Amino acid sequence: MTTPRRLLLLNGPNLNLLGTREPAIYGTETLADVERLTADTARARGFEVRAVQSNHEGVLIDAIHAAREDCAGIVINPGGLTHTSVVLRDALSGVDLPVAEVHISDVRAREPFRHHSYVADVAVVHVIGEGVAGYARAVTLLCDVVTGRAEG
């Protein structure tokens, strides 16, 4: 069986507000900018992207489950669910796809409750605190894992 040439891009709660929500922390680029950057970066590596953003945990979990049918990996910014959602972590673990965890801000330098990530132990790529540009790096690194250029 050949590996699908598609990545799932998942953005969690409140990321639909990028560009307007706390621009001093998250910048002024929008979710559309993130999706365009991610798709362009993936396309340059021979992949396409299916983008999903939701403020509802179950929608994200359903997208993760569906990805096992036609995706080679998952790029996820879980937003606040990073620090609270065991079920999101379990969904990622359960589909057995390589995962890249992305955070626009440096969550390790913010409030103490943001220092723990339930996703961290299931992700093979971690890009934290690089702004929206971090999505491009996460896609590049994940493509390397998927194609065998790097270990995951």
Annotated binding site: 77, 83, 90, 104-105, 114
Q: Which helix (H) or strand (E) holds 140?
A: helix 133-146
Can you give the length of the chain in residues?
Answer: 152
Question: Binding site for substrate: which residues?
Answer: 77, 83, 90, 104-105, 114
Residues with catalytic function: 26, 103
* CA gap 133, 36 in Å, rounded: 11
What are the backbone dihedrals phi and psi of residue 46, each rounded to the nearest 5 degrees, phi first?
85, 20
Inter-residue long-range contacts of 63-69, CB under 8 Å, 24+ positions, other chains counted: 63/8, 63/10, 64/8, 64/10, 64/88, 64/91, 64/92, 64/95, 65/91, 65/94, 65/95, 67/8, 67/95, 67/97, 68/95, 68/96, 68/97
* CA gap 96, 99 in Å, rounded: 9
